[in-house]
Amino acid sequence: MQRKPTLLNTTLSENTATLTLKVDASLEDFKGHFPVFALLPGVTQIDLAVRYARDTLGINGTFGGMEVIKFQDPILPNATVDLTLTWHPDKEKLHFSYQSGTTAHSSGRVTLRQAQ
């Protein structure tokens, strides 16, 4: 059972990571969402953004909410997408966006509260 896309490339800078992902058709999250027109669920896109941010940017925070979440164009099975993650530690916010070339798939901000 495959739970994460295939990671093709990662580019890191101070508080930003750009990951190129192949969203394999075998991902468990495609099953049943939707049977006739499979697409990567929005909740999966947000979960993957947070998981990859923890892995690549070393963010350790508890979920504190979401803002301006937009789903513009479906991510289909076997698509190759760029996931850009930008961490703003002063605001405790993770900005994410999924893109394929000039096509914007989704974007938003997730609050990850740091331990005091």
65 found inside a domain: yes
CA distances from 26 to 41, 51, 69, 80, 104 (A): 14, 19, 26, 14, 23
Instruction: Tell me how far apart the alpha carbons of residues 86 and 32 are, in angstroms, rounded to a whole number.
Output: 31
**Does residue 1 lie in a domain region?**
no
User: Residue 105 maps to which CATH number?
Assistant: 3.10.129.10
Quote the pLDDT of residue 1: 63
Instruction: Write the pLDDT tens digit of every residue in 2-61.
Output: 789 999 999 999 999 999 999 999 999 988 767 678 999 999 999 999 999 999 999 988
Tell me the residue range of the domain where 38 lies: 6-114
Q: Domain tally for the chain?
A: 1
Those residues with Cβ within 8 angstroms of residue 64's Cβ, 6 or more apart along the chain or in another chain = 92, 110, 111, 112, 113
Give the other-Cβ count within 10 Å of 28's Cβ.
11
Is residue 59 domain-resident? yes
- In this prediction the pTM is 0.93
- Residue 44, SS3 per DSSP: helix
